[in-house]
Amino acid sequence: MNAPFHPRRDTAQRVVEIKPRPTHDARLLTGGGAEATIVLDGTLYVLRITRQGKLILTK
C-alpha cells in the first residue's frame, strides 16, 4: 500500500529522495472494533473510529 518513490529537486537543483509514508488500515489497528491503544515513548493514546467513520486520537 506504499506510494511509489518519486525523486524531487530542491531549490539548489539537487535530487532529494522522498520516502513513501507507511500506510495502515485503521480497522486492522482496532482489530475490527472501534478502539485501539497506541503507545508513543511510554505515553498511551486511544485511537477511536466514530459511528460516522471518522478517526479521533486522544491522550
Spans of all domains in the chain: 25-59
Give the pLDDT confidence score for residue 47 in this predicted structure: 98
Is pTM beyond 0.95? Reply is no
Give the pLDDT confidence score for residue 19 in this predicted structure: 87
* H or E stretch covering 11: none
The pLDDT-based confidence of 6 (bands split at 50, 70, 90) is: low
Predicted confidence (pLDDT) at residue 2 exceeds the cutoff of 90: no
Query: 45 near 57, Cβ under 8 Å?
Result: yes
Q: Any idea which fold 25-59 has? A: Complement Module; domain 1 (2.10.70)
C-alpha span between 44 and 58 (Å, rounded): 9
For 26, the 3-state DSSP assignment is helix
Condensed to tens digits (0 to 9), the pLDDT of residues 9-53 reads: 656 677 778 889 999 999 999 999 999 999 999 999 999 999 999
Predicted confidence (pLDDT) at residue 1 exceeds the cutoff of 90: no
